């Protein structure tokens, strides 16, 4: 039993040394005299149009006629002038919704809920990175049926 202990100890040390060597941090990239990182030739071949465009955030809250939050409202969004809606979500339990869309366009936010009138709001995503809207839905007027007493 005592002969296995040194062998076991040596194998543990060898394994831990190779694991520690694999986890060593990467060396810092080379820098120029002014502290700027040196770009490699593969970086200069990249297209400058491959930049990530930040998205525009449309945030909103939907209320009923008594100013209570209205959950479960269908919210659909499309670019102005288009027929097809590209984004769709529903308001949460607090009547809130959030949708990320590409910036630089005019959008129409369309809300729909059973027993309420549909509503559309226009959003301009050219000026800022997000816009918050408050939408107050009105109940549909019920047509009077039957004869008056």
Task: Please say if the pLDDT value at position 142 is more than 80.
Answer: no
Write the pLDDT tens digit of every residue in 39-64: 555 554 555 566 666 799 999 999 99
Q: Is the pTM of this model over 0.85?
A: no
Handedness of CA 118, 121, 122, 128 (dihedral sign): negative
Burial class of residue 73, CB neighbours in 10 A (0-12, 13-18, 19+): buried
Confidence band, pLDDT 50/70/90 cuts, at residue 141: confident
User: Which residue in the block uniquely carries the two structure tokens 């959003």?
Assistant: 123
Write the pLDDT tens digit of every residue in 97-126: 999 999 999 999 999 999 999 999 999 998
Report all structural domains of the chain as residue ranges with CATH numbers, in order of start: 53-136 (2.60.40.10)
Contacting residues for 139 by C-beta, under 8 A, at least 6 apart: 64, 65, 115, 116, 117
């Amino acid at each position: 039993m005592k002969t296995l202990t040194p062998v076991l100890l040596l194998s543990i040390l060898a394994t831990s040394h190779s694991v520690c060597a694999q986890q060593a941090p990467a060396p810092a990239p080379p820098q120029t005299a002014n502290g700027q990182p040196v770009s490699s030739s593969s970086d200069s071949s990249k297209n400058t149009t491959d930049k990530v465009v930040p998205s525009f955030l449309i945030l909103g809250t939907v209320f009923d006629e008594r100013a209570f939050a209205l959950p479960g409202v269908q919210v659909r969004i499309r670019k102005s002038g288009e027929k097809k809606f590209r984004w769709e979500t529903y308001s949460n339990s607090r009547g809130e919704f959030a949708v990320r869309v590409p910036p630089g366009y005019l959008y129409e936010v369309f809300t729909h809920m059973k027993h309420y009138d549909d509503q559309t709001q226009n959003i301009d995503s050219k000026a800022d990175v997000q816009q918050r809207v408050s939408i107050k839905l009105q109940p549909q007027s019920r047509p009077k049926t039957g004869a008056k007493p």
